[in-house]
Structure 1
Amino acid sequence: MTGRAAVGRVLREAAVHYTDPAHPPGCLIVSAAVNCGLESAEVEEAMRALRQATKAGIGARIAEDVAAGLRPEDTDVDSMAAFYAAAIQGMSVQARDGATREQLERVADLAMLAWPEGQCPLAEASSSG
């Protein structure tokens, strides 16, 4: 699975899970401990680390595409990872504010439209084969 497919899947699955009526809307990791006092600093740091790990995982998938020749070598992996992490986090907040699964699926679709086009020569050569 390409990084693009993986990120798209994560976004679509977020739309499903964030709106599942079997549990509170959104994502606890996204919304927990974002505005805490000193007494909760440890929890706040743990949640921040989990959010950063998610962003790093997205970046790793994008970097794999670069290494495989599916993305140009000058791809701004960190910025792309930050953008898609922000989309996931925003979807969580939207779900907490009452967004439906269908609305979040549309957000996921729109976020994937922002995936930069362009391939490196290796990818173009293998697709024309």
Structure 2
Amino acid sequence: MGRHREFRLDDALDAALQVFWSKGYEGTSFTDLVNATNVARPGLYSAFGNKEALFYKVLDRYQDRHLRFMSDALELPTASEVIKATLYGCAKIQTQPSNPKGCLVVNSAIVSSDEGEAIRYELAKRRDQCESALKARLQRAKTAGDLDEDYKPADLARYVMTVVQGMSIQAKAGASRKQLLAVADFSLRGLSASLTV
């Protein structure tokens, strides 16, 4: 009979999430993960595989636990509410006192090593999925007359995601929630002519 694991997978994933979120993918070593999870290297390999495999599991956990507000935002009735909820939600999660600052995906986005090519691709794919979902929602808003005819949903979605990613970089650099919410409000004022308020 095999030995029982002496750690909870959920606890180890939560600890790994905090490390990756704080240091990014390339900035996190396997030693960092061993120290954070209090699980010996063989135990982590056995449970999750290598660093890359563990990071994919962490990305899924991050999306399920911390980015759910984005899915909820897409269900709001107007384009204005969708964009406001997206920007405000990002400002809040990126400055949550109990978590590292910024966004896990953005913090990990700068992968320069050849070994990180798969990670770079995965992060780009997830960003594209998020932007595509927002674009589709804004296209529905345009069809419903809730978005100015001159606005292209693809351009507006890209703009919103660019603001979100910039806010993440600012949060990582120490910007406060109040400062990020001011950025969100400024962006919303700039869009007010094209959105139904």
Normalising by the residue count of structure 1, what TM-score does the alignment of the two structures yield? 0.85
Task: Report the structure number with the largest CA radius of gyration.
Answer: 2
Task: Give how far 1:118 is off.
Answer: 4.6
Q: Mark the runs of 5 or more structure 1 residues left unpaired by the alignment.
A: 124-129
Q: 1 CA distance for matches of 2:193 and 2:109? A: 36
1:37 paired residue number: 113
Q: Mark the runs of 5 or more structure 2 residues left unpaired by the alignment.
A: 1-76
Tell which has more relative contact order, 1 or 2 (C-alpha 8 A, sep 6+).
1
Q: CA RMSD in A?
A: 1.7
1:77 paired residue number: 153
**Preserved CA contact (<8 Å) 2:79 2:146:** no
- What percentage of residue pairs aligned between the two structures are identical? 28
Runs (4+) of structure 1 exceeding 3 A deviation are: none
AA partner of residue 127 (structure 2): R
**Preserved CA contact (<8 Å) 1:2 1:61:** no
Q: 2 CA distance for matches of 1:95 and 1:84? A: 16
Distance 1:116 1:59, change over 3 A: farther
AA partner of residue 186 (structure 2): L
Normalising by the residue count of structure 2, what TM-score does the alignment of the two structures yield? 0.57
**Preserved CA contact (<8 Å) 1:30 1:51:** no
In the alignment, structure 1 residue 111 sits paired with structure 2 residue 191? no
Aligned residues: 120
2:104 paired residue number: 28
